[in-house]
């Protein structure tokens, strides 16, 4: 009998052991049949959103556990060390094409080409530019973006009977109407290069949306005629008093916002992130936002969606990692991320979590335009073109140098 039981035991071991070893890294102690994957994120501010996305995923795939780690110090150094040692996470965050890091990982075959492996169908084509290297997609964008908008005083508009403009010509006509009422049309600081940029880019998108769209396809000229025309037009608006009689004294973005929140200016062209400061300055202010419209009524949002995760080509749990990547690309996960971040939705399919963010998102009609400044950053050595804007744009508006001068300098350092 002992011999018989021993033979049975050997047979059972012969069946079970190969199956156990076949699972390899997919087997987690105490959770037979379960797979564990790891995701790395770089900012504490994303932890809650990531936890909620993971919860949604694990509910859908209860056999997969997702662990996450926050690497908030020397992120890329820590990541590079882990990848080179073969101990890297299954998925990890990068800046996408906003910096050169993801391209380096692609060059070194460290990332999975997600083209055809992930369903990107809910994402506008322009949003995928942050994931696209050589026509292939290597990350999952989050449909949340930093953009620019025209904030306007709703009560003031109602009081004077001003309508939100539907064309660029209507926008210009509105500026004169507001000035005629004795109110500053647009609050703007000429002493802050960022404030000037955040006004210039949305005005450019309304003035020439075709050119603005073309910025996504470098080597389109960043110093083309529309750029010169818009900078010249803004100087003309300054001469007409559309930024206020004493606008040269508006020292920075804080003073610019203050003029709007105290009712001195009817509008403020600024970043989407300025909404929180506007509300803090004057909680009672009834304001909303719109995008500068083109001649045909087209509008869009200038900016780039946030980048999410890439899949490690060396992942030992590749199937599970791809499932998580696909979930991140789904409407469910994208909605969780955008709304828990309190961010601006980059697609009409997702409602932003605040009224002002939702107003900005809807005003873009689902169109996303590449940032002119972002092209300067990506296509000039050591971001030299950005430095020229940072240093000289204020000189243009104080009329110490000409529009042609700054554009000539920028053109000289582009790739």
Q: What is the pLDDT of residues 263-278, one digit of tens each?
A: 999 999 999 888 888 9
> What number is the average pLDDT over the span 353-381?
88
| Average pLDDT estimate for 306-319 | 96
Averaged pLDDT, 235-263:
95
Q: What pLDDT is recorded for position 165?
A: 98
Residue by residue, DSSP assigns 35-90 as EEEEEEES-GGGHHHHHHHHHHHHHH-TTEEEEEEE--SSHHHHHHHHHHHT---S
Determine the 3-state secondary structure of 349 from DSSP: coil
Reported as a pLDDT band with limits 50, 70 and 90, residue 99 is: confident
Q: In this predicted structure, what is the pLDDT of residue 27?
A: 32
| Average pLDDT across the chain, whole number | 89
Tell me what the mean pLDDT of segment 129-158 comes to: 94
Which range is least confidently modeled, 6-15, 83-92, 188-197, 214-223?
6-15
pLDDT of 357 > 50? The answer is yes
Tokens 């380096």 appear where?
104
Where along the chain do its domains lie?
16-145+305-347, 148-302+366-413
CA–CA separation, 81 vs 97, rounded Å?
A: 21
Going by pLDDT thresholds of 50, 70 and 90, the confidence category of residue 7 is: very low
Q: What is the mean pLDDT of residues 231-257?
A: 95
φ, ψ dihedrals at 291, nearest 5°? -100, 145
Say which residue the tokens 């900078």 belong to: 231
- Of the listed ranges 173-177, 238-242, 270-274, 394-398, the least confidently predicted one is 270-274
Angle at 341 between CA 374 and CA 142, to 5 degrees: 50
pLDDT attached to residue 178: 98
Q: Which CA distances in Å does 197 have to 92, 288, 409?
A: 32, 21, 17
pLDDT at 20 over 80: no
Taking residues 240-246, report their average pLDDT.
Answer: 96
pLDDT at 353: 79
Average of per-residue pLDDT across 288-296: 97
What pLDDT shows up at residue 113?
A: 98
Position 24 scores a pLDDT of: 31
The fold of 148-302+366-413 is D-Maltodextrin-Binding Protein; domain 2 (3.40.190)
**In the predicted structure, residue 342 carries a pLDDT above the cut 60:** yes
Task: Say yes or no to pLDDT of 381 above 90.
Answer: no
The pair of three-digit structure tokens given for residue 177, joined into one six-digit string:
């109407």
Mean pLDDT of 90-110: 91
Q: How far apart are CA 32 and CA 79, in angstroms?
A: 30
pLDDT given for residue 97 in this prediction: 84
Task: Indicate the pLDDT class of residue 354, thresholds 50, 70 and 90.
Answer: confident
The tokens describing 305, both together, are 């969606």
Mean pLDDT value across residues 329-334? 98
Statement: residue 285 has pLDDT above 60: yes
With a CB cutoff of 8 Å and minimum separation 6, the contacts of 149 are 202, 269, 270, 271, 272, 289, 290, 291, 301, 360, 363
pLDDT value for 13: 36
For residue 133, report the phi and psi dihedrals to the nearest 5 degrees.
-130, 115
pLDDT tens digits along 314-324: 999 999 999 99
Cis peptide before 415 (omega within 30 of 0): no
CATH architecture of structural domain 16-145+305-347: 3-Layer(aba) Sandwich (3.40)
The pLDDT confidence band at residue 160, using thresholds 50, 70 and 90, is: very high
pLDDT at 409 over 60: yes
Q: pTM for the whole thing? A: 0.72
On the question of pLDDT at 30 being above 80, the answer is: no
C-beta of residue 206 within 8 angstroms of C-beta of residue 294: yes
Beta strands in 154-286 (DSSP E): 184-187, 265-271
Assess whether pLDDT exceeds 50 at residue 239: yes
Of 177, 210, 383, nearest to 296 by C-alpha is 210
* The two domains 16-145+305-347 and 148-302+366-413 share their CATH topology (first three levels equal): yes
Over residues 183-206, the mean pLDDT reads: 97
Give 285: exposed, middle or buried? Use CB within 10 Å, 0-12, 13-18, 19+: middle
């Amino acid at each position: 009998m002992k011999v018989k039981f021993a033979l049975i035991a050997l047979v059972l071991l012969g069946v079970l052991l190969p199956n156990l070893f076949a699972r390899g890294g997919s087997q987690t102690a105490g959770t037979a049949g379960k797979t564990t994957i790891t995701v790395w994120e770089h900012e504490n501010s994303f932890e809650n959103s990531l936890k909620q996305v993971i919860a949604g995923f694990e509910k859908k795939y209860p056999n997969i556990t997702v662990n996450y780690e926050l690497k908030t110090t020397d992120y890329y150094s820590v990541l590079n060390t882990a990848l080179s040692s073969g101990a890297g996470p299954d998925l990890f965050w990068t800046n996408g094409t906003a910096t050169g890091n993801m391209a380096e990982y692609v060059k070194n075959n460290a990332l999975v080409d997600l083209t055809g492996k992930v369903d990107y169908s809910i994402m506008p084509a322009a949003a995928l530019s942050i994931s696209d290297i050589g026509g292939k997609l290597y990350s999952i964008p989050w449909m949340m973006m930093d953009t620019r908008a025209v904030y306007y005083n709703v009560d003031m508009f109602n009081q004077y009977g001003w309508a939100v403009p539907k064309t660029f010509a209507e926008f210009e006509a509105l500026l004169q109407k507001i000035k005629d009422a004795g109110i500053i049309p647009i609050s703007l600081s000429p002493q802050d290069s960022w404030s000037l940029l955040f006004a210039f880019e949305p005005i450019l998108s309304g003035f020439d949306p075709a050119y603005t769209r073309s910025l996504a396809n470098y080597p389109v000229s960043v110093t083309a005629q529309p750029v010169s025309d818009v900078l010249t037009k803004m100087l003309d608006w300054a001469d007409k008093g559309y930024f206020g009689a004493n606008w040269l004294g508006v020292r920075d973005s804080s003073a610019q916002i203050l003029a709007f929140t105290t009712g001195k200016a009817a509008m403020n062209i600024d970043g989407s992130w300025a909404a929180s400061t506007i509300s803090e300055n004057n909680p009672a202010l009834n304001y909303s936002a719109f995008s500068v419209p083109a001649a045909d009524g087209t509008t869009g949002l200038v900016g780039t969606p946030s980048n999410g995760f890439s899949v490690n080509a060396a992942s030992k749990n590749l199937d599970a990692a791809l499932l998580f990547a696909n979930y991140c690309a789904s409407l469910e996960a994208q909605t969780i991320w955008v709304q828990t971040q309190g961010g601006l939705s980059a697609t009409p399919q997702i409602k932003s979590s605040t009224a002002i963010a939702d107003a900005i998102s809807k005003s873009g009609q689902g169109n996303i335009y590449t940032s002119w400044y972002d092209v300067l950053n990506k296509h000039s050595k050591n971001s030299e073109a950005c430095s020229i804007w940072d240093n000289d744009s204020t000189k243009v508006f104080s009329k110490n140098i000409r529009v042609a001068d700054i554009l000539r300098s920028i053109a000289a350092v582009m790739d």
